[in-house]
Amino acid sequence: PAITAWGDSIKPGLKWIAVSRDLLNKGLGYNTMVKIDSFEGVYLVKDKMHSRWKNRIDIYMGENVNKAKEWGRRKITIKYAVLKDSL
């Protein structure tokens, strides 16, 4: 459970997200830098979600389960770069 789909080891304090697989084709691949509108800093794409999820990200909030439950499910805006040759 502490290993991502790409084989990275999860540790508290990291700014990582998981993305639904449909977002991989939109430029949100492994190690893509992402800005999330309601969070400070830059997050890295480090995990892939199950194929049943579409157009979603999962923000890693460490071992603080209460913080994650408090945050819940929300619509957010993210910003990321897409290379010209990938279009």
Q: What is the arithmetic mean of pLDDT over 77-82?
A: 86
Residue for token pair 């929300």: 74
Q: What is the arithmetic mean of pLDDT over 48-65?
A: 94
In the predicted structure, residue 44 carries a pLDDT above the cut 50: yes
Q: What's the pLDDT band for 84 if we cut at 50, 70, 90?
A: low
Closest CA to 61 of 36, 81, 85: 36
Pairing of strands 42-48, 78-80: unpaired
State how far the Cα of 32 lies from the Cα of 79, in Å rounded to an integer: 10
Sequence-separated (6 or more) residues with CB below 8 Å from residue 20:
48, 49, 53, 54, 55, 56, 57
Q: What is the arithmetic mean of pLDDT over 37-45?
A: 93
Look at residue 29 in the predicted model and tell me its pLDDT. Answer: 95
In the predicted structure, residue 56 carries a pLDDT above the cut 90: yes
Look at residue 1 in the predicted model and tell me its pLDDT. Answer: 72
